[in-house]
Amino acid sequence: MEYLDKIAEVDVIVVGAGPAELTAGYYLARKGLKTLIIEKRISFGGGIGRGMLFPRIVLAKPPDEILRDIKCKYEETSDNVLIVDPAELIAKLATAAVDAGANILLGVTVDDVIYRESPCV
């Protein structure tokens, strides 16, 4: 419970732990924002981690900057297409987000979001 209490005070909450959300969490935490990533499933990866049956992901450039930041290997074809291993991509994104300071909670569903300019008393 102490851990949950500690991570409850955040600057930003990212809902979902797919590639886009993990990337957002990584860059937000890297900038020094206290970041919490919440995923309803008990694993991260979004569609890449759950339903994609292909052994490689094909990306159009420019995500190579992100791939270099998280130290994910990729192959670049002559027409600026990037080929990535999906397991490595998700693992590196999650690790990069956590290493940057983001916390990830798995198995938590977000039903509603309430935004307040100032904290409740």
pLDDT at 100: 98
Q: With 90 as the cut, is the pLDDT of residue 96 above it?
A: yes
Question: Cα separations (Å) of 98 from 30, 37, 90, 103, 120?
Answer: 10, 10, 12, 6, 29
Task: Dump pLDDT digits (tens) for 23-78.
Answer: 999 999 999 999 999 999 998 888 776 666 678 888 887 888 999 999 999 999 88
Mean pLDDT computed over every residue of the chain: 88
Express as a percent the part of the chain with pLDDT over 90. Answer: 56
pLDDT at 51: 60
CA atoms within 13 A on the CB side of 117: 0
Q: With 60 as the cut, is the pLDDT of residue 120 above it?
A: no
Where do the domains of the chain lie, and which CATH numbers do they carry? 2-106 (3.50.50.60)
